[in-house]
Amino acid sequence: MFRNLIGPRAVIRPTLTLPTVVAPSAIARWSKRGYASEAEEKDLVIIGGGVAGYVAAIKAGQEGLKVACIEKRGTLGGTCLNVGCIPSKALLNNSHLYHQILHDTKNRGIDVGDVKLNLGQMMKAKDTAVSGLTKGIEFLFKKNNVEYIKGTGAFTGEHEIKVNLSEGGEQTVTAKNIIIATGSEATPFPGLEIDEKRIITSTGAIALDKVPESMVVIGGGIIGLEMGSVWSRLGAKVTVVEFLGQIGGPGMDAEISKAAQKTLKKQGIEFKLNTKVLGGDTSGEKIKLDVEAAKGGKQETLDADVVLVAIGRRPYTAGLGLENIGLETDDKGRLVIDSEYRTKIPHIRVIGDCTFGPMLAHKAEEEGVAAIEYIKKGYGHVNYGAIPSVMYTHPEVAWVGQNEQEVKASGVKYKVGTFPFSANSRAKTNLDSEGLVKIIADAETDRILGVHIIGPSAGELIAEGTLAIEYGASSEDIGRTSHAHPTLSEAFKEAAMATYGKAIHF
């Protein structure tokens, strides 16, 4: 019953499940227990105020549930808002502007004088963005009658959570339903101790107080490439070491991955693919990393001022007291759930990074809404085959659905249509025309199976591809839909036309 249902085409379909009914005898048993502080029983308590948790809390409040959200960080939004998606995008945007002013203004008819980096002010701008958004969530909690409990929560019973309050003291909370949304943490690299100064994770990468002369990034996935791009633009010599034979992670289409690597290399980032890190020495002024070919070969030593460990993330469930209620994690540290996010204890559900599926903020948001719908209405919906991914380098890379490797492996007959931004009028006038749109469709039905974009505003354009897959659109459906001229979105339309027929402008 409890298994990983997250596949490229898996969809949680509506099923009728009545909300958990709590027996009066059970309530009587709870009422006999002594608490550090008495409080009424909640309809729902959520452990974790990250994207999954806070969205679920707001949705629960909108549905009229008595809900509390426990968060130990002191600010809401979790990794994403505090030390992940939001601050990294602030740095990506502003470092791109800096790099563009340095290298890409003359052809635009803009003469600039002496351009200097004020790293402190750039970090301040990042912090301002973060502060505004996290406070915005607190406002939404108040607006939707969500009780915000600052502290660390742990199970003391199947319906009971003890909270060590951040300001001191304890509070015990009881609830009919509980959602675990404790998120994830950066996966450490064996033998390299993280200090967030010289050996850093993404958390340290958004808070360096000076531009390092050299940086080695262990891991060529999205996080490593984004943060590597930031510091490369600001003047660091960046080398990416990746165990696999392509960058971007296994989800990225191979053709798009090669194009991204080519572009990033032109921007100054060096790559060592099919390479593994054996270990490192931090005793000297420079960090020394020993690497060799993934399949064995001659060893090499890389010197760096800073090493960014970006080999992925792992579920975070430490200190939850799972042993007190008999819940266990699988071999990857994930809490096991069924198709309605329930653990083996039906009124305890799990959403976000600490369970199955891609560790993406928007996936967590969808689960937050769906979990509340299951509790309140008995049905919910998340289409895991239509969860987009975006890499916010320049150009951006985005995709949704299956890549060509996956479609080919499945044995489905398919067709591919592409259209380059170099033939798109808006991209040409913007002097930002590197990249392409690639659409993969079923050869017999023309139904779109995957969309892959590298180019300007790819992260925005992918929404059309996601909607197309969600509603089962064909490439001809997209090709026969009018797109405003001149816009970047016309490249999407033309790629669709190339899939079922021929593009007009290429």
Q: Quick one: CA dihedral 354, 356, 358, 363, positive or negative?
A: negative
Tell me: is residue 296 an annotated ligand-binding position: no
Phi, psi of 465, deg, nearest 5:
-65, -40
Grouping H, G, I as helix, E, B as strand and the rest as coil, residue 214 is strand
The number of C-alpha atoms within 13 Å of 192 and in the hemisphere containing its C-beta is: 27
Tell me: is residue 258 an annotated ligand-binding position: no
Q: Which of 96, 347, 483, 485 is catalytic?
A: 485
- Do 274 and 241 contact (CB within 8 A), yes or no? no
Tell me: is residue 444 an annotated ligand-binding position: no
- Please enumerate in sequence order all residues whose Cβ is within 8 A of that of 210, keeping only pairs 6 or more positions apart, or say none: 119
Tell me: is residue 352 an annotated ligand-binding position: no
- Please enumerate in sequence order all residues whose Cβ is within 8 A of that of 447, keeping only pairs 6 or more positions apart, or say none: 441, 472, 473, 474
Tell me: is residue 183 an annotated ligand-binding position: yes
Tell me: is residue 61 an annotated ligand-binding position: no
Question: Maximum Cα–Cα distance for the chain, whole Å?
Answer: 78
**Mutual orientation of helices 51-62 and 361-377 as an angle, nearest 10°?**
30
Grouping H, G, I as helix, E, B as strand and the rest as coil, residue 147 is strand
- Do 258 and 246 contact (CB within 8 A), yes or no? yes
Tell me: is residue 156 an annotated ligand-binding position: no
Tell me: is residue 138 an annotated ligand-binding position: no
Tell me: is residue 326 an annotated ligand-binding position: no
Tell me: is residue 223 an annotated ligand-binding position: yes
Tell me: is residue 113 an annotated ligand-binding position: no
Per the listing, tokens 């959200």 go with 69
Report the C-alpha gap between 475 and 478 in whole angstroms. 5
- Do 495 and 419 contact (CB within 8 A), yes or no? yes
Compute the chain's Rg from CA coordinates.
Answer: 24
Tell me: is residue 158 an annotated ligand-binding position: no
Reply yes or no on whether 485 is catalytic: yes
Tell me: is residue 157 an annotated ligand-binding position: no
> Angle 362-364-17 (CA atoms, 0-180°, nearest 5)?
125
List the structure tokens of 67: 């809900």
Tell me: is residue 362 an annotated ligand-binding position: yes
> What is the DSSP secondary-structure string of 271-339?
EE-SEEEEEEE-SSSSEEEEEEETTS---EEEEESEEEE-S-EEE--TTS-GGGTT--B-TTSPBP--T
Residue 431 CA: distances (Å) to CA of 51, 104, 106, 421: 36, 9, 12, 10
Residue 152 CA: distances (Å) to CA of 36, 159, 172, 174, 347: 15, 16, 11, 15, 21
Query: With b meaning 16 or more CB within 10 Å and e meaning fewer, what string describes 135-167?
Result: eebbebbeebebbbbbbbbbbbebbbbbbebee
List the structure tokens of 6: 């997250």
Tell me: is residue 53 an annotated ligand-binding position: no
Tell me: is residue 360 an annotated ligand-binding position: yes
Tell me: is residue 353 an annotated ligand-binding position: yes
Tell me: is residue 361 an annotated ligand-binding position: yes
Tell me: is residue 322 an annotated ligand-binding position: no
Tell me: is residue 227 an annotated ligand-binding position: no
Report the C-alpha gap between 366 and 382 in whole angstroms. 6
Q: Which residues are annotated as a binding site for NAD(+)?
A: 219-226, 242, 312
Q: Which residues are annotated as a binding site for FAD?
A: 89, 153, 182-184, 353, 359-362
Residues involved in catalysis: 485
Q: Which residues are annotated as a binding site?
A: 89, 153, 182-184, 219-226, 242, 312, 353, 359-362
